[in-house]
Structure 1
Amino acid sequence: MTDSKPVVQHRTTTINGVKVFYREAGDPAAPAVVLLHGFPASSHMFRNLIPELADRYHVIAPDHIGYGFSDAPPVDEFEYSFENLTTITLALIDQLGLQNFALYIQDYGAPIGLRIASRNPDRVTALLVQSGNAYMEGFTPFWDILFAHAKDRPANEAAVREYLTAEKTHWQYTHGVPADRLDRIAPDTWTLDQALMDRPGNKEIQLQMFWDYQFNLPGYPDFQEYFRKHQPPTLITWGKNDEIFGAAGARAYERDLPDAEIHLLDAGHFALESHGPEIAGLIRDFLGRVIV
């Protein structure tokens, strides 16, 4: 008996002198979908979604530099910034020959993906947004210490380091998840994230990225102008109980994208873990309608 499910391939390539790991599945001739993960995750967060899309789409899910199985050079040997990670991500997309593509953006993937989209509007066929901020309304008290750290790193570093602990990583996956869905959260999620974050020098990478996040905010007007001018087809699947990027951040998209399809799920920050089949179904239906 032949298994007809798409095969997910695990590949590595070199971009600007660093090795980038990515997962790939589907027919390269099919419409492309690029999945961009957030902190403290990797393309592992899309391990279940990729096969659900790859029968129709060419799916690419990279690990950002410093995350997952991509290179993680020390902070004094590599410029860790959202701008630089954007450059590498777009270079990977170009190297793979993706002329047009939909973007799935979550958490850190949002400022990276929205830089790409706003600068290359004719190449982006759709936006798939999960807890990916583009408006100030999305910020919760979770960010208070991070923004304090951006203003004064030495005074706030000890407090920010608490966000890099195993307890906080576990919390990121479990907060806001209904009790009857907690058993859907695979322990390999927070265990893998923490193991990779505990590598020598990696916490310094995360602190640098925390500090650099402040430079995403001045780009929000550009992202919003892109929304208004180009009206990219947009599907939003967001955990309504997310205490990192609040549900107000999802609703804010309506201001500039009145036709956006918004689904606030009974989930937390990593909604794919507790609501993966529902999100996959919404994406398949949406892309089937908007990508010709």
Structure 2
Amino acid sequence: MTSIAYRTVDVDGLNVFYREAGPADAPTLLLLHGFPSAGHMFRDLIPKLADRVHIVAPDLPGFGQSDMPARDVFEYTFEHLADVIDRFTEVIGLNRFALYVFDYGAPTGFRIAAKHPERITAIISQNGNAYEEGLSEGWNPIRAYWQDRSQANRDALRAFLTPETTRWQYTHGTPDETAVSPDGSTLDNAYLARPDAHEVQLELFGDYGSNVALYPAFQEYFRTHQPPLLAVWGSNDPFFLPAGAEAFKRDLPNADVQFLNTGHFALETHAEEIAAAITKFLG
């Protein structure tokens, strides 16, 4: 049976919670979650990889069990999230690692990779976008807010933070909604129900444009350093389109791009297939 340790580490005064499993001397895979989830989204994947890979899965600041500092003392931007996770890897002693990036984990991880290309052994992108053609029209309300930070545009995004929308993100695009456990979305909604959590998420919605502005820099990193890349993608994702996965081949001709008949949270229905693809990819 796979043993998973649940740890918390002080990163320059901020408590970052993380899951760790697998042999400490094995190659490391850093798992970076997305919105509105946390490291628990990898609960089905970790046991399938930990016999041969050292797994580290932190909760981003403001998510899960990591600290959620007040907005007047912590700037909720993707640059700041990346800085914290970058320091987290240094504090726990990760010198070389592969990245698994999903949703918000992609702009976080790609910032780290572009800053420290020598540390990155490979990238697995599961619905983790780096190309404008990967953004669906579902981003239009969020795009309106990052372009105009008005209160009206901010309030219009509160619909993305309801329990019903969280559940929809988990089930949309899946062939059989009854195959998607309610556990993940229920836990995410519990975290979203904490005081000020909605305002934290609205700050990140407003900053998402900074990620799109960095797409050319991420793409330059890909072209220059040619990291091995596996894109394994829920093809029915309402936010990140298959074109975003195919676009990796433009800068990484050897990228392995695979599509699964499911939605955004592909691990909920296809953890077995994704684990097999990762095992083959990492060798």
TM bracket (short chain): over 0.9
Task: Map residues 136-151 of structure 1 onto 2, 5 A cutoff.
Answer: 136-151=132-147
Counterpart-to-counterpart distance in 1, 2:107 and 2:191: 22
CA contact (8 A) 1:74 1:202 kept: no
Q: Which residue of 2 aligns with 1:192?
A: 187
Aligned-residue offset at 1:164? 0.4
The one-letter amino acid paired with 2:159 is E
SS in 1 for 2:94: coil
In the alignment, structure 1 residue 281 sits paired with structure 2 residue 276: yes
Aligned-residue offset at 1:152? 2.2
CA contact (8 A) 1:121 1:230 kept: yes
The one-letter amino acid paired with 2:48 is E
Counterpart-to-counterpart distance in 2, 1:17 and 1:147: 33
SS in 1 for 2:237: coil
Matching residue within 230, 233, 240 for 2:235 = 240
The one-letter amino acid paired with 1:140 is S
Counterpart-to-counterpart distance in 2, 1:204 and 1:195: 15
In the alignment, structure 1 residue 165 sits paired with structure 2 residue 186: no
How many pairs align? 282
Q: TM-score, normalised by structure 2?
A: 0.98
In the alignment, structure 1 residue 127 sits paired with structure 2 residue 127: no
Q: Which residue of 2 aligns with 1:66?
A: 62
The one-letter amino acid paired with 2:98 is A
Counterpart-to-counterpart distance in 2, 1:105 and 1:112: 8
Q: Which residue of 2 aligns with 1:218?
A: 213
Structure 2 residue ranges without an equivalent (≥5): none
State the Cα deviation string for residues 76-105 of structure 1 (Å, max 9, x = none): 121111111111101111111111100000
Aligned-residue offset at 1:244? 0.8
Q: Which residue of 1 aligns with 2:196?
A: 201
In the alignment, structure 1 residue 265 sits paired with structure 2 residue 260: yes
In the alignment, structure 1 residue 94 sits paired with structure 2 residue 90: yes
Q: Which residue of 2 aligns with 1:104?
A: 100
Aligned-residue offset at 1:256? 0.5
Q: 4+ residue stretches of structure 1 with deviation over 2 A?
A: none
Q: TM-score, normalised by structure 1?
A: 0.95
Q: Which residue of 2 aligns with 1:227?
A: 222
In the alignment, structure 1 residue 80 sits paired with structure 2 residue 95: no
Q: Which residue of 1 aligns with 2:15?
A: 19
When the two chains are superposed, the root-mean-square deviation of aligned CA atoms in Å is 0.9
Identity of aligned residues (%): 52
Structure 1 residue ranges without an equivalent (≥5): none
